[in-house]
Amino acid sequence: ATAARVAVVGASGGIGQPLSMLLKLDPSIKELNLYDIVHTPGVAADLSHIPFPAKVTGYKGADSIHAALEGCDVIVVPAGVPRKPGMTRDDLFNINAGIVKTIAEASAKVAPKACYLIISNPVNSTVPIFAEVLKKAGTYNPKKLFGVTTLDVIRANTFVAENQGTDVLKTNVTVVGGHAGTTILPLLSQVKGASFTPDALAALTHRIQFGGDEVVKAKDGAGSATLSMAYAGYLFTAKLLQALKGEKDVVACAFVENTLTAAPFFAAPVTLGKEGVEKVHALGSLSAMEQEALDKALPDLLAQAKKGVEFVQNA
């Protein structure tokens, strides 16, 4: 199996560092390349002392991005800037969009066959940006581009288990749609063995959609979710690596290109295989409330994808 070379782009950040640490602890990884514009030699030196097989190498600065990505099977991208006081959402969009575009261009050039796992927000737009850059370069493979929505899934599992008093390790909630606010669609009607009061249903849905705000508030505005996002990113990467090695029936929710809805990219459960996405699962039956939420989310998803595509086309 060749699926053992992983790069983390934005490896020195609040998400990037714990994510890199979790990946270092995965014995199936042989090479772990840490790229960032700052601090990666230090992060790599530090992690390299942990006795696991992955050889950790730090790459710092734009001149080294090609060396960092070349030959990698999986490229995980938590690069970006978090929102700072005085910054509008548009400011944040433009900065992160530019960062993601640069990373996509480098990826197309030196790692055209890799799987790309996008964490940089806003995922609803950054994934379409990545796709558009790859399309322009002629290397786009929709089976290998993923927006990581695993944080929505793990939050849903945690909150639902808490509400139902069930074993969190055996609670599996399907979360579809997008990766921001009301575009996040937890399918609570499909949770096996669960029953919710109408109030609990509304409250849980809202908590899953806006769980990130709880963390921002608790951190006094100094940052957003990093540790739980790092774990989520690791979990999805680990599942993908298992599938790339040939393990069967690996299923995970992810934001991928598909035709389930009118939105070009839509998170759904997907079966992963040696070549990335093997099958996108149908949504199954939705409750009236879920259908209504989906209908409301689609225009937002379409607009956010369009914004990403236009960012690349107008560049």
Helix (H) or strand (E) holding 272: strand 265-273
36 lies in the binding site for ligand APR (CB under 6 A): yes
Q: Which is nearer to ligand APR, 8 or 161 (CB)?
A: 8
Alpha-carbon distance of 191 to 50, in angstroms, equals 39
Q: CB-wise, 1 or 45, nearer to ligand APR?
A: 45
- Nearest approach, Cβ of 15 to ligand APR (angstroms)? 3
Reduce the DSSP state of residue 187 to 3 states and report it. Answer: coil
In which region does residue 150 sit, left (phi positive, over 0), alpha (psi from -120 to 50) or beta (all else)?
A: alpha
Of 7, 12, 173, 177, the one binding ligand APR by CB under 6 A: 12
Least distance from C-beta 142 to ligand APR, angstroms? 22
**226 binds ligand APR per the rule CB under 6 A:** yes
Among 8, 16, 176, 263, binds ligand APR (CB under 6 A): 16
247: left (phi over 0), alpha (psi -120 to 50) or beta: beta
Catalytically annotated residues: 152, 179
Residue 119 contacts ligand APR per CB under 6 A: yes
Residue in 4, 5, 6, 10 binding ligand APR, rule: CB under 6 A:
10
Residue nearest to ligand APR (CB): 13
Q: Among 6, 14, 163, 272, which residue sits at the site for ligand APR (rule: CB under 6 A)?
A: 14
The single residue among 4, 72, 99, 270 that binds ligand APR, judged by CB under 6 A, is: 99
Q: Residue 287: which residues within 8 A CB-CB, separation 6 or more?
A: 189
d(CA 253, CA 277): 11
Contact 229/179 with Cβ under 8 angstroms? no
Pick one of 56, 58, 69, 80: the residue that binds ligand APR (CB under 6 A). Answer: 80
Q: How many CB atoms lie within 10 A of CB 284?
A: 12
Residue 108 CA, chain-centre distance (Å), reads 19
What residues line the site for ligand APR (CB under 6 A)?
A: 9-10, 12-16, 36-38, 78-82, 96, 99, 102, 119-121, 223-224, 226, 229
